[in-house]
Amino acid sequence: MKKSIMSLVIVAMLLISFTGAGNAASGDSLDVYHISNNGTLEFYLNGEDFYGEYILKNGTTYMKLRDVGENLGVQLYWNQSKKEVSFYTNGSRVSMNIGSPVAYIGGQRISISSPFAVDGYTYLPLRNISEVLDIHVYYKDLRPQERAIREVIFRHNPSMRAEEKKGTYYYSNNEMRSTFFLSADSYDLDTNTMVMHAYSVVVDLKYGEGHTATWGWYDVDLDTGVIQDAISLKYLDNYLYPSI
């Protein structure tokens, strides 16, 4: 199954935009799937699963320029004095400046959302990729499907629904706190399935330490709502360490 991760998870509209400007003629495409309310995104670059750094800011997805550029074979150049990022493609120079709402492609000025830098890396809004790079961008919001899948899993696992309704649970000694979560881990474009992760976060209130206790991972068909596979820790333990 194609994983994007961590779990978030591609940034670089610019990067891509830069690369897109030179490769659009070859039919480059970027598919983006918003699979969870926790901000999890899955990306596919030219049909292949792709991972890059991204930031969700005020409802906008910003991508790390370098990540996309490296995957498309684009070499980026940084001018520290001008705070300018540039690259060359098909004989044209593409450039932009940190904090500026414009970019230049072959000397032609276009309007973009202002890019910004984090830890020395440039981020650009995903929404500008199509117009700036002339690359096809497809976006699909899978969050409604995630909510529906929660119900499918809860119907198969009533104890999970009870755990979620319980909210945060304090143990009898009141020194441990457990909270249940069910979230989307990844999306498989080829099979149209979503992997859901059921787990509890247990925190030691006295020492402030915690750990994650996994209930299982559920592979759910988005077309039918059928759970195709459920892998639990108990199963893995029995498989890896069978009883003698």
Q: What is the DSSP string of 46-70?
A: TTEEE---EEEETTEEEEEHHHHHH
Tell me the domain boundaries of the chain: 13-141, 143-240
- What is the longest distance spanned by two Cα atoms in the chain? 73
Residue 168, token pair as written in the block: 């945060």
> Tokens 């299982």 belong to which residue?
216
Class for the domain spanning 13-141? alpha beta
pLDDT tens, residue by residue, 136-177 = 888 899 999 999 999 999 998 899 999 999 999 888 777 889
pTM of the model: 0.70
Which range has the top average pLDDT, 37-41, 86-90, 109-113? 109-113
Q: How confident is the model at residue 233 (pLDDT cuts 50, 70, 90)?
A: low
The rounded distance, in Å, linking the Cα atoms of 231 and 244 is 22
The confidence score (pLDDT) of residue 194 equals 93
Alpha helices for 55-185 (secondary structure H): 65-71, 129-133, 143-156, 158-166
pLDDT band at 28 (very low <50, low <70, confident <90, very high): confident
Q: How far is the C-alpha of 199 from the C-alpha of 59, rounded, in Å? A: 27
Instruction: Say whether pLDDT at 19 is over 50.
Output: no
End-to-end CA gap in the chain: 33
pLDDT value, residue 174 = 73
Q: What is the pLDDT of residue 199?
A: 93
Predicted local distance difference test score (pLDDT) of residue 16: 34
Mean pLDDT of 28-56: 86
Instruction: Identify the CA nearest to 37 among candidates 181, 210, 139.
Output: 181
Question: Which secondary structure element, helix H or strand E, spans residue 173, and what is its range?
Answer: none
Question: Which one has a higher pLDDT value, 164 or 237?
Answer: 164
Per-residue model confidence (pLDDT) at position 75: 80
CA 60 distance to own-chain centroid: 13
Tens of pLDDT, residues 191-231: 999 999 999 999 988 888 889 888 889 999 999 999 988 87
